[in-house]
Structure 1
Amino acid sequence: MARKTVVLFPGVGVGHLAPMLELAKAFLRHGGGAVYVAVAVAELPVMATGFAATVARAEDANASVAFHFLPPPPPAPGGGSGEPEPEQDVLARMLRFLRATNAPLRDLLRSLLPPVGALVLDMFCGDALDVAAELGVPAYFFFPSGAAGLAVFLALPARRASMSTSFAGLGASTVLSFPGAPPFKVSEMAEGLSDDGEVCRAILRVASRIPDARGILVNSFESLEPRAVRALRDGLCVPGRATPPVYCVGPLVSPGGGDGEEHECLRLMDAQPDRSVVFLCFGSMGAFPKSQLAEIAAGLEKSGHRFLWVLWSSPPPSAAGEPFDGDDDLDALLPAGFLERTRDRGLAVGSWAPQVDVQRHRAAGAFVTHCGWNSTLEGVAAGLPLLCWPLYAEQKNNSKQHLNPPT
């Protein structure tokens, strides 16, 4: 059998890259030697928090996967003023950037040997369908979040088209219901989706293109979200047109194990009783202003519980509030004396920790999480109770899920 290349295009952002790397490993495991896997990497500077480091670790750990860095697209016409765009346009900039990567992606697909047999696109890379159609390559979408999130995402364009006002025009407290997903308020929608602005229009356009693919891969499994999977497969989420086949390929989570060097936080865990440590981690974009860090620290100290707290030592550009200085160390970020007073039962770590290994450690007792889907799946797989603190994107909806944990 002739070998074929499967190209994965994860878009930008650690939360989208990490599960697609696990998907790459799955293709290699099940490909029977007939599949060559390549990852097309595009890096938007404004979304680069942790991205380059994640790619570097992935390259080191996955010698069988080829990483191809797409050259940055040329500046958009009329964009040469040199003035930075408003911070609230980060997502809009990301979507414009991904549209502009069509040309370098096309050049890559044409150059690869063995020839490309399939293109797997991140949920935000809908414009790359045009590249696949031009080259005659079958295209699939990979939805890195759960089946309920996919059900809502697919249904949004038709729902908005049926309304005479924006979602925001319905009122913040209005409850929305979609097949296969728990109800949620307009105020709980992902940022930018409710107001008919540039971000909303771009996301709805991308969502409307997903049914044009050969199939949709979703990072979940049927027994975890049976209601959502049933709604997707019954065609309830895309009224008026056919839904492509939906394949549950999850849970795609890192197996852990790291690079062989034990992180200091695992040494802390080794010294703790079983199920005694509260793990706090809020994802690659989960930065807080100093004032809120102080409140979290006060709560941890007064609780008396053992803890491991991962916090970013510098915020991403979109962090709200009064961001702390990225040049500060942890002692300066946290209340005076906090680290010393809690040293026998807690540890604060700047920027990164081996999250999967922590959650699977015998001493882990609970997980305080932002409810990003990667973290949610990791917590479910580890059997930890999740204490939900949703921050952005679809996390408020993830926190409402009534998941059926694996037995």
Structure 2
Amino acid sequence: MEAIVLYPSPAIGHLVTMVELGKLILTTRSPNSISIHILITTPPYRVDDTASYIASISSDSIIFHHLPAISLPPCATSSVPAHETLICDVLRLNNPNVHNSLRSIIDKNYKIQAFVMDIFCSPALSVVTKLNIPGYFLFTSGAACLACALYLPTIHKIIDKSIKDLNTLLTIPGSPPIPSSDMPKPLRDRNNIVYDSFVENSIELAKSAGIIVNTFERLEPRAVKEISDGLCVPDGPTPPVYCIGPLIVAVAYNKRAAGMHSGGDNVSKCLTWLDSQPRGSVVFLCFGSLGLFSKEQLKEIALGLERSGHRFLWVVRNPPNSQNGQTVDLKVQAGPDLESLLPDGFLGRTKDRGLVVKMWAPQVAVLNHDSVGGFVTHCGWNSVLEAVCAGVPMVAWPLYAEQRFNRVVLVEEIKIALPMDDSKDGFVSAAEVEKRVTELMNSDSMEGNSIRVRAKDMQIEARAALSESGTSRVALTRLLKSWNQS
């Protein structure tokens, strides 16, 4: 039997995108002719529990392989390093486990047609090359971000200092001018240990047999064209690029089924409450599975929402335990005490027009509900695509990873979001929250109306891309044909 091996990094968003790719591949082949094998890495930090999700997906056609845990030296975990640093260390040390797992699959008489890895998993390209297996990347962010990744080695050559020490606009093919302060955080300091890993990841990208991107051509036409024209890898060939997105959970358009497999109380609470709200009247605030705010910032958000006068559905999580400005949750969190975190009397004063839920909400179902008219998001790419498919305009409030870069692209290039402007230390005032929510939701706001129209246009384009003759389906066919010929 033929097999495709997928190798995601541990974050739930990356895993879900890989699984959706596997499910999509299976829809193109006859039953029992191919199987999807997914390698699962245990991370050295807390992530959302994936056991129930994996159990719900596992089948004869989708097989999960849990790789042995990697033990990092004590010095690597003694402080609070960036989660990117930890995962790069683990994935670099994981190569022997990847090799053993591939040999085990081959020994069971599977013919591996392709190995598809996350960009963080790029050290594995050397493993599959030695085994004569074509190595591909699934880039789980957008095409503009891919352009930046491919161009990073060139930036490294032409700029001899850390990006954080610059105060300039960076010119990157396929992207709008990017303020140096909005480049992904791991790329800003060339003396940071993770910086070298990202440069190496980018070099490996260009060596692959192809790059699969979770986007569609009409969403990012300039980025797709300039990557394909070779402008992002000026000193060598650019691999074929396959834009097959949007890859989001298959239940995206089922308003009540989405998310019903977990968090049942919040599913019912959110959707029942939304059913009682006027069409397009609710702004939804949700910041991903890892994003955190300080207690002070939570109070500013609450005040801004209250002063805006608009209806809202807000997902709140506990602040980080540390006081170092951390915006990523690497430890298990308990449910927040809303009364102590939010301003005195806030929940009572807003109970007729607002709902605050703890920890989690069924995001896809919420975004596709008729009552939701706007989305305040951390700019994680999965969340962006879910909003695009629902036709919901956004306020872009990035927290970590490549999200500040995504904000620039969403605001300046794609034009489906308003920016949440923050101070130098990342703090956002109640006045800014009130201003952006009001602009997003008011029907007489010129800026808000512009992005609302644009968001609906992109929703139509997303559906067209996934149609039988759409660009994403054509790209998928081209990708599968290349595998069949290998």
Normalised by the length of structure 2, the TM-score is 0.77
For residue 194 of structure 2, the aligned residue among 188, 193, 199 is 199
Q: Contact between 1:224 and 1:406, CA under 8 Å: does it hold in 2? A: no
Q: What is the alpha-carbon distance in structure 2 between the residues aligned to residue 237 and residue 62 of structure 1?
A: 38
For residue 245 of structure 1, the aligned residue among 237, 240, 245 is 240
Structure 2 CA distance for partners of 1:317 and 1:377, relative to 1, 3 Å = farther
- For 1:329, the aligned partner's letter is D
Q: 1:275-317, CA deviations, whole angstroms, 9 ceiling, x for partnerless residues?
A: 0111000111211011111111112222221111112236487
Tell me what 1:118 maps to: 114
Q: Could you tell me how far 1:40 is from its partner in structure 2?
A: 0.9
Q: Contact between 1:286 and 1:391, CA under 8 Å: does it hold in 2? A: yes
Q: What is the alpha-carbon distance in structure 1 between the residues aligned to residue 321 and residue 27 of structure 2?
A: 35
The alignment's C-alpha RMSD in Å is 2.3
Q: Contact between 1:263 and 1:354, CA under 8 Å: does it hold in 2? A: no
Q: Contact between 2:136 and 2:209, CA under 8 Å: does it hold in 1? A: yes
Q: Find out whether 1:90 has 2:83 as its counterpart.
A: yes
Tell me what 2:279 maps to: 274
Structure 2 CA distance for partners of 1:115 and 1:321, relative to 1, 3 Å = closer
Tell me what 1:107 maps to: 100
For residue 157 of structure 1, the aligned residue among 139, 153, 157 is 153
For residue 331 of structure 1, the aligned residue among 317, 339, 360 is 339
State how many pairs are aligned: 396
Q: Find out whether 1:185 has 2:157 as its counterpart.
A: no
1:116-155 to 2 correspondence within 5 Å?
Answer: 116-155=112-151
Q: Find out whether 1:365 has 2:363 as its counterpart.
A: no
Q: Could you tell me how far 1:327 is from its partner in structure 2?
A: 6.3
Q: Could you tell me how far 1:18 is from its partner in structure 2?
A: 2.1
Q: Could you tell me how far 1:103 is from its partner in structure 2?
A: 1.1
Moved more, 22-31 or 149-158: 22-31
- For 1:303, the aligned partner's letter is S
For residue 19 of structure 1, the aligned residue among 17, 20, 23 is 17
Q: Contact between 1:293 and 1:334, CA under 8 Å: does it hold in 2? A: yes
- For 1:90, the aligned partner's letter is H
Q: Find out whether 1:168 has 2:158 as its counterpart.
A: no
- For 2:176, the aligned partner's letter is P
1:297-316 to 2 correspondence within 5 Å?
Answer: 297-313=302-318, 315=320
Q: Find out whether 1:210 has 2:218 as its counterpart.
A: no
Moved more, 321-330 or 274-283: 321-330
Pick the structure with more helix per residue.
2
- For 2:40, the aligned partner's letter is V
Q: 1:233-283, CA deviations, whole angstroms, 9 ceiling, x for partnerless residues?
A: 111111111111000010011133233654310111111111011100011
Q: Contact between 1:6 and 1:38, CA under 8 Å: does it hold in 2? A: yes
Tell me what 1:348 maps to: 356
Q: What is the alpha-carbon distance in structure 2 between the residues aligned to residue 322 and residue 351 of structure 1?
A: 15
Q: What is the alpha-carbon distance in structure 1 between the residues aligned to residue 321 and residue 97 of structure 2?
A: 27
Normalised by the length of structure 1, the TM-score is 0.91
Tell me what 1:392 maps to: 400
Query: Aligned to 1:228, what secondary structure does the other structure show?
Result: helix
Q: Contact between 1:315 and 1:326, CA under 8 Å: does it hold in 2? A: no
Query: Aligned to 2:138, what secondary structure does the other structure show?
Result: strand
Moved more, 32-41 or 287-296: 32-41
Q: What is the alpha-carbon distance in structure 2 between the residues aligned to residue 311 and residue 212 of structure 1?
A: 42
Query: Aligned to 1:125, what secondary structure does the other structure show?
Result: helix
Tell me what 2:64 maps to: 67
Query: Aligned to 1:165, what secondary structure does the other structure show?
Result: coil
Q: Contact between 2:282 and 2:312, CA under 8 Å: does it hold in 1? A: yes
Q: Could you tell me how far 1:335 is from its partner in structure 2?
A: 2.5
Q: Contact between 1:367 and 1:386, CA under 8 Å: does it hold in 2? A: yes
Query: Aligned to 1:104, what secondary structure does the other structure show?
Result: helix
Q: Could you tell me how far 1:339 is from its partner in structure 2?
A: 2.3
- For 1:96, the aligned partner's letter is D
Q: 1:10-51, CA deviations, whole angstroms, 9 ceiling, x for partnerless residues?
A: 1121232221121121111123332201211112132x332x
Structure 2 CA distance for partners of 1:205 and 1:318, relative to 1, 3 Å = farther
For residue 255 of structure 1, the aligned residue among 250, 266, 273 is 250
Tell me what 2:297 maps to: 292
Q: Contact between 2:293 and 2:320, CA under 8 Å: does it hold in 1? A: yes
Tell me what 1:375 maps to: 383
Tell me what 2:421 maps to: none
Q: What is the alpha-carbon distance in structure 2 between the residues aligned to residue 362 and residue 335 of structure 1?
A: 30
Q: What is the alpha-carbon distance in structure 2 between the residues aligned to residue 226 and residue 381 of structure 1?
A: 17
Q: Contact between 1:6 and 1:37, CA under 8 Å: does it hold in 2? A: yes
Q: Contact between 2:295 and 2:319, CA under 8 Å: does it hold in 1? A: no
Q: 1:313-353, CA deviations, whole angstroms, 9 ceiling, x for partnerless residues?
A: 36487972699984642333323332233222211111211
Q: Contact between 2:5 and 2:114, CA under 8 Å: does it hold in 1? A: yes
- For 2:97, the aligned partner's letter is P
For residue 9 of structure 1, the aligned residue among 7, 23, 28 is 7
1:26-45 to 2 correspondence within 5 Å?
Answer: 26-33=24-31, 34-45=33-44
Q: What is the alpha-carbon distance in structure 2 between the residues aligned to residue 140 and residue 317 of structure 1?
A: 38
Q: What is the alpha-carbon distance in structure 2 between the residues aligned to residue 347 and residue 234 of structure 1?
A: 48
- For 1:66, the aligned partner's letter is I
Tell me what 2:449 maps to: none
Structure 2 CA distance for partners of 1:146 and 1:333, relative to 1, 3 Å = same
Structure 2 CA distance for partners of 1:104 and 1:406, relative to 1, 3 Å = same
